[in-house]
Amino acid sequence: MFAESGFDATPTSRIAEHANVPKGLVHYYFRRKADLLGALIKRLPDEQIDPALVVVPGDIAESLRRLVSELDARLARSRMLSHLLWREADTHRAIRRALDDRFQRLVRQVRAVILTAGEGGVAVDDVDSAAGLLALALSYRHSVARHKDDPAGLMEPELNFIAGALMPRPAT
């Protein structure tokens, strides 16, 4: 209901009615309506993916492709929740913090996959830049996924560009 009408336009009485419980029960578990948002934030899917599950040693592009595919699958299981959080981020500080924490975890996740796949052959500064760029692209894509016909389509050009930029260059 928050995703449909917005947080502020959804009264707790309507939530209780939809849940088929007394309004007092909603307030018993959630003292303030904002506490419902906190509970929803905790329901975000865990985005921590063990690099061993997606990394193909020596193949950064395929490793990133597998990571993106796994992250897309997790997004698909929480599309409505993600929509709600992106919608309410402008007006609720707790949601902005949760989304920022989610983004920072994503950067670390991408970084770990690149370093593991690159087997020590990539410059750390380049990895940090690449991880930040890919995390931005994924975050943007996931924030607008509800508006796309094919939100799970891989970002092939972007992944190939990043992987190519990270490959060691021959000495001249």
- Alpha helix stretches (DSSP H) within 20-123: 23-29, 33-42, 51-54, 60-76, 79-88, 93-118
44 vs 118 pLDDT, higher one: 118
Token look-up 């309507």 returns 14
pLDDT of 159 higher than 80:
yes
Mean pLDDT (the chain) is 82
For 4-47, write each residue's pLDDT tens digit: 777 888 898 999 999 999 999 999 998 888 788 778 777 766 66
> Cα Rg for the chain, rounded, in angstroms?
20
Q: And the tokens for 30? A: 């959630």
For 97-108, write each residue's pLDDT tens digit: 878 888 898 899
pLDDT of 75 higher than 80:
no
Give residues with Cβ within 8 angstroms of 102, minimum separation 6. 44, 47
CA 108 to chain centre: 12
Cβ contact 64:116 at 8 Å: no
pLDDT band at 60 (very low <50, low <70, confident <90, very high): very high
118 vs 2 pLDDT, higher one: 118
Q: And the tokens for 171? A: 């000495």
CA 21 to chain centre: 32
Model pLDDT, residue 114 = 93
What is the rounded CA–CA span in Å between residue 163 and residue 124?
14
